[in-house]
Chains A and B, each alone.
Chain A
Amino acid sequence: MSAELSLFYFFAALAVGSALSMVLNLRNTVASAMSLVITMVSLAAVYVLMEAHLVAVLQIMVYGGAIVVLFVFVVMLLNLRQDDFPPGRQRGAKALGVVLVVFAVIKLLALLPAALPDTVAALPEGFGGYRDVGTALFTRFILPFEATSLLLLSALVGAVVLAKRRLD
Chain B
Amino acid sequence: MAETIGKILFVLLVVMGAFLPMITWVERKQSAVMQDRIGANRANIAGITVLGVLHPLADVLKLFGKEDFVPAGANRVMHLLAPVIALVPAIITLAVVPFAGVYDFGGENPFSFVIADVDWGLLYVFAVGSIAAYGTIIAGWASNNNWALLGTVRASAQMISYEVTMGLSVVGVFMCFQTLSLQEMSLAQDSSFRLLGFLEHFGLFETLPGWLAWIQVPTWGIFLQPMGFVMFLTCIMAENKRPPFDLPEAESELIAGYHLEYSGMRWGLFYTAEFLEVPVIGCIVTALFLGGWSIPFLDTQTLIGGIGSFFGEGFATGVVLVLHVHAFLAKVVIMIWLQMLIRWSLPRFRYDQVMDLCWKIMLPLSLVNIFVTAVVLLWFQEVVG
Contacts and interface: CB of A to CB of B under 8 A. Distances in A.
A130 B180 CA distance: 9
B159 A69 contact: yes
Given A53-B119, A66-B160, A31 B78 contact: yes
18 contacts: A28-B75, A34-B134, A34-B138, A53-B119, A57-B126, A57-B127, A61-B123, A61-B126, A64-B130, A66-B130, A66-B163, A69-B133, A69-B137, A69-B156, A69-B160, A72-B141, A129-B120, A130-B123
Interface residues of A, number: 23
B153 interface: yes
A60 B119 contact: no
Interface in A108-143: 129-130
B131 interface: yes
Contacts of B149: 76
A130 B127 contact: no
Contact of A65 (B120, B130, B152, B153): B130
A70 B131 CA distance: 13
A93 B7 CA distance: 55
Interface of B: 75, 78, 118-120, 123-124, 126-127, 129-131, 133-134, 137-138, 141, 149, 152-153, 156-157, 159-160, 163, 180
A58 B120 CA distance: 11
Contacts of A60: 127, 130-131
A30 B141 contact: yes
B138 A57 contact: no
Interface of A: 28, 30-31, 34, 37, 41, 53-54, 57-58, 60-61, 64-66, 69-70, 72-73, 76-77, 129-130
Contact of A61 (B130, B138, B152, B180): B130
Majority DSSP secondary structure for residues of A touching B:
helix
Which 6 pairs of residues, A with B, have the shortest CB-CB distance? Answer: A65-B130, A60-B127, A57-B123, A61-B127, A57-B127, A73-B156
A133 B124 CA distance: 17
Given A54-B120, A64-B131, A130-B120, A70 B160 contact: yes
Contacts of A65: 126-127, 129-131, 133, 160, 163
Contacts of B141: 30, 72, 76
Given A60-B131, A66-B163, A69-B133, A76 B153 contact: yes
A116 B55 CA distance: 62
B143 to A, nearest CB: 12
Most buried by A among B123, B127, B133, B157: B127
A66 B133 CA distance: 9
A77 B123 contact: no
B83 to A, nearest CB: 15
A70 to B, nearest CB: 7
B124 A57 contact: yes
Contacts of B156: 69, 72-73
A53 B119 CA distance: 9
A39 to B, nearest CB: 14
Given A64-B130, A66-B160, A53 B137 contact: no
A37 B123 contact: no
A53 B121 CA distance: 11
A129 B137 CA distance: 32
Contacts of A76: 137, 141, 149, 152-153
A75 B231 CA distance: 31
A19 to B, nearest CB: 18
A7 B123 CA distance: 23
Contact of B157 (A41, A57, A73): A73
A105 B360 CA distance: 47
